[in-house]
Amino acid sequence: MLGAQDLFDGPLRLASVRRYLEDRRNIVLVACEGPRVIGFLRGTALDQLESGRRQFFLYELAVADDRRRQGVGRALMERLLVLSRRLGHEEVFVFTDDPKNRAAHRLYRSTGGRTETRGERMYVYRWNGRRPGGRPARR
Ligand SMILES: CC(C)(COP(=O)(O)OP(=O)(O)OC[C@H]1O[C@@H](n2cnc3c(N)ncnc32)[C@H](O)[C@@H]1OP(=O)(O)O)[C@@H](O)C(=O)NCCC(=O)NCCS
């Protein structure tokens, strides 16, 4: 995956990537421009205690510096939401890394994410408007 290393925190270990992808609870979506990776997201479906359905925790989303503001992040997010719903997840949730990360806040809001926490760092996407249970403790 050309250019992918710039998007991750450090070098990828092939064995770890393979194990991650083999776990069917994990989802990785990759945006490519030819052979170059220009964006990706990843996360994991979590079991809940109050519901028989899983919730999807979006752990990481990043777009290459020179490809931002071109709709890549939105496309990844929208694809995830379709997939997650199709897989029967009850909701998708994501934490913003920084309250001042304007790009992330606006992206999540403009794709239907809603905040519940006082600090507005967690966005939830719900299909049915019901308050779901079983999320991690509020921050
Ligand atoms: C957040 C991030 C993934 C957005 O990706 P992107 O491909 O640039 O986003 P898009 O072009 O699809 O933009 C979708 C919407 O997000 C908002 N947005 C994106 N970048 C923005 C910026 N720099 N400032 C303000 N709003 C922004 C806008 O509402 C935009 O819609 P618009 O272009 O129609 O106004 C990207 O900025 C990034 O990789 N940031 C570093 C990693 C990161 O912060 N990840 C999220 C951690 S919680």
Task: Give residue-wise pLDDT tens across range 4-29.
Answer: 677 888 888 999 999 999 999 999 99
Query: Residue 36 falls within a domain, yes or no?
Result: yes
Q: Which atom of ligand 1 is nearest to the CA of 60?
A: 47
Predicted local distance difference test score (pLDDT) of residue 136: 44
Given the CA of residue 101, which atom of ligand 1 is nearest to it?
44
User: Structural domain tally of the chain?
Assistant: 1
Å from CA of 101 to ligand 1 middle:
9
The confidence score (pLDDT) of residue 45 equals 98
pTM for the structure as a whole: 0.90
- Ligand 1 pocket check: which of 30, 61, 69 to mutate, most ligand atoms within 8 Å of Cβ? 69
Does some domain include residue 11?
yes
Average pLDDT, the chain: 89
Residue 17 lies in a domain: yes
Q: How many CA atoms lie within 13 A of 91 on its CB side?
A: 20
CATH assignment of the domain containing 16: 3.40.630.30
**Domain encompassing residue 113:** 4-126
In this structure, is residue 51 part of a structural domain?
yes
Q: Does 137 map to a domain?
A: no
**Secondary structure (3-state) at 114:** strand
- Give the pLDDT of residue 78: 97
In a domain, 139, yes or no: no
Of 54, 43, 27, the closest CA to residue 132 belongs to 54
With CA atoms as reference, report the closest residue to 40 among 89, 7, 83, 70: 7
